Structure 1
Amino acid sequence: MNQSSPSDLVFTVKRRQPELVAPAKPTPREFKLLSDIDDQDGFRLQIPLVHFYPSHPSMVGKDPAHVIKTALAHALVFYYPFAGRLREGHARKLMVDCSAQGVLFVEADADVTLSQFGHLQPPFPCFQQLLYKVPSSEGMIDCPLLHIQVTRLKCGGFIFALQMNHTMCDGPGVVQFLKALAKIARGASEPSIQPVWLRKLLNARDPPRVTCTHYEYQQVAVPPHDDIEETQDMVQRSFFFGPTQIAAIRQSLPHHLRDGCTKFELLTAFLWRCRTIALQLEPIDAVRLMCVINARGKKTLGGLEIPEGYYGNAIVFPAVVTTAGKLIGENNSIGYALEIVKRIKSEMSEEYVQSVADLMVIRGRPCFTKARSWIVSNLEHVGFRDVDFGWGKAVFAGIAKAGAGGFPGVSFYVSCENAEGEEGIVICICLPSKAMERFVKEMDGMLEKPFMHSSL
């Protein structure tokens, strides 16, 4: 595997003045309440996405910024809440003021070609130039809910970067919006899937009642000596796992476990164990893993189905807890970690999702537990790369970096091709620099060969 995203790449980006793109036609002026899943504290943050597109012969002479900006105004007629602003009501309840103020849009040019980035996987050099932080646009309340920057490249390709307010949508939700935007950019008059609001489907019961155990929301203090949020010397690196790496990890399992797990479960167990070893925790320290699970696809939810087109947060992240000593002890192989990871899926049920919504109302919409926690979100099949504005599919598309808000312990699994064209998963990890060195060494040892990665 080749190292990608050369960290020494430097280029200049010239940006035009930021502007607000409003819906192309009048839209309803109303207030729309977010669901009790949407407005939890752990979703009150911005998530950055990035898509890289090469030039395309059929699009020569067409300006991607103009095409996308024009399509955006028309897409917002259907997704008009995105053009509004958040307001906070009683008991921290969030709602959207559908004011049609618009989405933040920035047009830019960079003196660099797509090939100069090398093989594309996060983290990306000079990313802050590809999604410029416009002053006073980063907040939750009364700020733009989407921020888009289209950066044209010297080669005729372009980079589409987006920052989304997580209270408005999850991964599948934002991809649904982006595919609608892309379809309109290619000439359609409306989305193929009509957006559905219906956030009341994921509201608390009356009266609310917590009926499940939620280790993901336990109130646990972060010990000062291992608070990686406060560590200044943080490093982001991503790792590609193709068939060769997956097979090597599977071979390390006891025979009775090799065929009974998914690729996601296998990778999560492997990485959680390596990450815990790298952090050098005490054996008695509790460690927590949370896996994001999509509630879509379940037949019913609180007596109501989640309809096609729903673009709100329909995810929960059940947690399992063990000790560092048990997870990485000499007598416990990756098989122990795998058995714990597999337990998470069994926690998922319609009642579990309802219990989360009820917990939010009872406990004032708390954040997830951060102490010695790692959260993983499998976005491999969400379809980021399938977003086609007319220039074909993206050569890379997905979450731009590890972490969420100020918490570095979140990793996203995104589909990707390596330099040889081999399909696999790229996973970005954020750790203190010394811990990252130990993490890579541990992975190399388990895979019995050096593991190439990209880093910043």
Structure 2
Amino acid sequence: MASPNALTFEVTRQNPELIPPAKPTPHEFKPLSDIDDQEGLRFQIPVIQFYRRNPVMDGKDPVKVIRDAVARALVFYYPFAGRLREMAGRKLVVECTGEGVLFIEADADVRLQQFGDALHPPFPFLGELLYDVPGSDRVVNCPLLLIQVTRLKCGGFIFAIRLNHTMSDAFGLFRFLSTVAEFARSAKIPSVLPVWQRHLLNARDPPHVSYNHREYDNIPSTNSALLPPGNMVQQSIFFGPAEISTLRSRLSPHLRHCTTVELLTACIWRCRTIAISPDPHEEVRIIILVNGRRLFNPPLPAGYYGNAFVLPVAISAAGNLCKQPLDYALELVMKTKSEVTEEYIKSVADLMVIKGRPHFAVVRTYVVSDVTHSGLKDIDYGWGTTVYGGPAKAGVGVIPGLTSFYIPSKNNKGERGIVVPICLPANAMEVFVKEFQTMVKRDNNEIASGVARKSPIFIGRTRL
């Protein structure tokens, strides 16, 4: 079987069409929240889902089923059928025009099995499965969703979607896609009704910044400030039970209660910093997305589909991070996450209004986002749940290599774990791989890595 990275196939696409809501919807203006419209979320984010053939659904066309379900879902999620406008103070507002979302029907001369046993980012063929319609990728005055459904020769299909991130986070997208899936399975109304209520995450009057939000520092650029945009490669790491156990064994006993995500964050931050070789006296940062839905009292409504996360940052001198044991990085990560409260989130919203909706700091910064509980892999349009469902690539946003996701997955041995796509310059990736393999070395003779195991932890490398 060919490697997924070497796979070539042809896709035949129909002309893009606009899918409006199935029924008339209100024409109104709905402001985004002061968390939604910050500069750092003004970009498009791609998600992809792979589905097997289901004999029960033979004779049903996934394109037609999903197209009709999207139209019905937009009756409830009608802001997605509108267009963003920028108002005074850079405030983003949805004009609910009912124009619709972009939809592409496609066929590919390939079978799902040819993509390999374990699907993970990077997907070098993403451009074939989610066509970038010219002029559609701006933040304002453009469709807010782009959907492509691609039939496969085997009877399976691929659902790919591009989301204007100012509208929703991963959980909000899950809410919309769950509704599409329910309608595809003949539901009459959504099981969870959507909730707009973006005012819940607006700045207070008067705004009052109560935390020292270092994530929005204005940092002067230096020669080592940003990763060079050229010669970037993407590669994914699979953290299985062996790797996680080995990393946990490296910790001091009082830290072994940490979550798996905290452990992975500390490990990757340390390895990545070594790989990019910053000046040891310069600060390096890791931004850890924290979902705030349950931090409110009462929690945000179940149907809230706006962005509800904040971006707390851990900071260290590069030299300390590289030389100290893993405990050092882990303690910084755990402390940073623990500081996020309802008041912290309100303080961020206040800062957005006071400072003009700034971008978070990107100089010597790395961003990680945990989507292991987003539910994107469990969406069922009638053909069963996904073979893979989640982010389509790392390094999303305007800065190459800035962001990685934690994605639930299985390796080709059936072990459950977490896949993390990494995006780095080619020479830095070589150093990262070497350093990571050292971190998960069990002892001097046995390496729990792709070098010594049949199920490699480094998978799917591709050049960007």
Pairwise TM-score range, normalised by the shorter structure: over 0.9
Amino acid at match of 1:264: V
How far 1:5 moved relative to its partner?
Answer: 5.7
Which range moved further: 378-387 or 91-100? 378-387
Which residue is 1:275 aligned to?
A: 272
Which residue is 2:460 aligned to?
A: 454
The SS at the match of 1:49 is: strand
Which residue is 2:122 aligned to?
A: 123
The SS at the match of 2:6 is: coil
**How far, CA to CA, are the matches of 2:376 and 2:127 in structure 1?**
21
Amino acid at match of 1:315: F
How far 1:328 moved relative to its partner?
Answer: 0.9
Which residue is 1:235 aligned to?
A: 233
Which residue is 1:14 aligned to?
A: 12
The SS at the match of 1:224 is: coil
The SS at the match of 1:106 is: strand
**How far, CA to CA, are the matches of 1:130 and 1:222 in structure 2?**
37
Which residue is 2:425 aligned to?
A: 432
Which range moved further: 174-183 or 219-228? 219-228
Which range moved further: 243-252 or 403-412? 403-412
How far 1:257 moved relative to its partner?
Answer: 2.1
How far 1:254 moved relative to its partner?
Answer: 2.3
Which residue is 2:398 aligned to?
A: 406
> What per-residue deviation string (whole Å, max 9, x for no partner) do you get for residues 405-427 of structure 1?
22221111011111111111111
Partner residue of 2:437 out of 427, 431, 444: 444
Which residue is 1:215 aligned to?
A: 214
- Alignment CA distance shift 1:225-1:335 (3 Å): closer
**How far, CA to CA, are the matches of 2:10 and 2:330 in structure 1?**
45
Give yes or no for contact 2:25–2:75 (8 Å, CA) kept in 1.
yes
How far 1:62 moved relative to its partner?
Answer: 1.0
Amino acid at match of 2:68: T
Which residue is 1:295 aligned to?
A: 292
Unmatched 5+ stretches in structure 1: none
The SS at the match of 2:147 is: strand
**How far, CA to CA, are the matches of 1:231 and 1:147 in structure 2?**
26
**How far, CA to CA, are the matches of 1:438 and 1:226 in structure 2?**
18
1:325 paired with 2:331, answer: no
1:109 paired with 2:107, answer: yes
Give yes or no for contact 1:194–1:309 (8 Å, CA) kept in 2.
yes
1:393 paired with 2:385, answer: yes
Which residue is 1:244 aligned to?
A: 242
**How far, CA to CA, are the matches of 2:80 and 2:439 in structure 1?**
46
Which residue is 1:80 aligned to?
A: 78
Amino acid at match of 1:173: G
Question: Residues 319-358 of structure 1: matches in 2 within 5 Å?
Answer: 319-329=313-323, 332-358=324-350
The SS at the match of 1:412 is: strand
**How far, CA to CA, are the matches of 1:112 and 1:239 in structure 2?**
26
**How far, CA to CA, are the matches of 1:34 and 1:369 in structure 2?**
22
**How far, CA to CA, are the matches of 2:355 and 2:385 in structure 1?**
43
Give yes or no for contact 1:288–1:319 (8 Å, CA) kept in 2.
yes
Which residue is 1:177 aligned to?
A: 176
Which residue is 2:151 aligned to?
A: 152
The SS at the match of 2:293 is: coil
Amino acid at match of 1:417: K
> What per-residue deviation string (whole Å, max 9, x for no partner) do you get for residues 395-453 of structure 1?
10100111222222111101111111111111111000000010001111121233332
- Alignment CA distance shift 1:361-1:377 (3 Å): same
Give yes or no for contact 1:10–1:125 (8 Å, CA) kept in 2.
no
Give yes or no for contact 1:37–1:314 (8 Å, CA) kept in 2.
yes
The SS at the match of 2:285 is: strand
Partner residue of 1:286 out of 280, 283, 287: 283
Amino acid at match of 1:166: H
Amino acid at match of 2:285: R
Give yes or no for contact 2:2–2:114 (8 Å, CA) kept in 1.
no
Give yes or no for contact 2:224–2:278 (8 Å, CA) kept in 1.
no
How far 1:151 moved relative to its partner?
Answer: 0.5
**How far, CA to CA, are the matches of 1:59 and 1:224 in structure 2?**
56
**How far, CA to CA, are the matches of 1:320 and 1:121 in structure 2?**
28
How far 1:209 moved relative to its partner?
Answer: 1.5
Aligned residues: 447
Which residue is 1:27 aligned to?
A: 25
**How far, CA to CA, are the matches of 2:78 and 2:2 in structure 1?**
38
Which residue is 2:307 aligned to?
A: 313
**How far, CA to CA, are the matches of 1:404 and 1:37 in structure 2?**
19
Please report the TM-score for the alignment, with normalisation by the length of structure 1.
0.96
**How far, CA to CA, are the matches of 2:381 and 2:300 in structure 1?**
28
How far 1:134 moved relative to its partner?
Answer: 0.2
How far 1:225 moved relative to its partner?
Answer: 3.9
> What per-residue deviation string (whole Å, max 9, x for no partner) do you get for residues 269-292 of structure 1?
011100001011111010011110
The SS at the match of 1:297 is: helix
Amino acid at match of 1:317: L
> What per-residue deviation string (whole Å, max 9, x for no partner) do you get for residues 166-224 of structure 1?
10000110001111110100100111000000000100011111110111100112323
Amino acid at match of 1:289: I
Percent same amino acid among aligned pairs? Answer: 54
- Alignment CA distance shift 1:141-1:153 (3 Å): same
**How far, CA to CA, are the matches of 2:231 and 2:132 in structure 1?**
22
**How far, CA to CA, are the matches of 2:220 and 2:101 in structure 1?**
38
**How far, CA to CA, are the matches of 2:124 and 2:423 in structure 1?**
16
The SS at the match of 2:404 is: strand
Amino acid at match of 1:135: P
CA RMSD of aligned residues (A): 1.3
